[in-house]
Amino acid sequence: MSMSTAKLYERVTFDAPSCDAQGVRDGWTEGAYSCRAHFLYLRGSEAVMAARLDGKQPIVATIHRGSKADTITTDWVMKDARRGTVYNIRTIVPTDDRKWLEITAESGVAV
Residue pair 107/86 in contact by the 8 Å Cβ criterion: yes
25-45 pLDDT, tens digit each: 888 999 999 999 999 987 766
pTM: 0.82
b/e sequence 74-110, b meaning 16+ C-beta within 10 Å: eebbbbbbeeeebbbbeebeeeeeeebbbbbbbbebe
Residue pair 37/8 in contact by the 8 Å Cβ criterion: yes
Task: State how far the Cα of 53 lies from the Cα of 65, in Å rounded to an integer.
Answer: 33
45-95 pLDDT, tens digit each: 666 555 555 667 889 999 999 999 999 999 999 999 999 999 999 999 999
What the chain holds in terms of domains, given with CATH numbers, is 5-107 (2.40.10.270)
Three-state DSSP at 7 gives helix
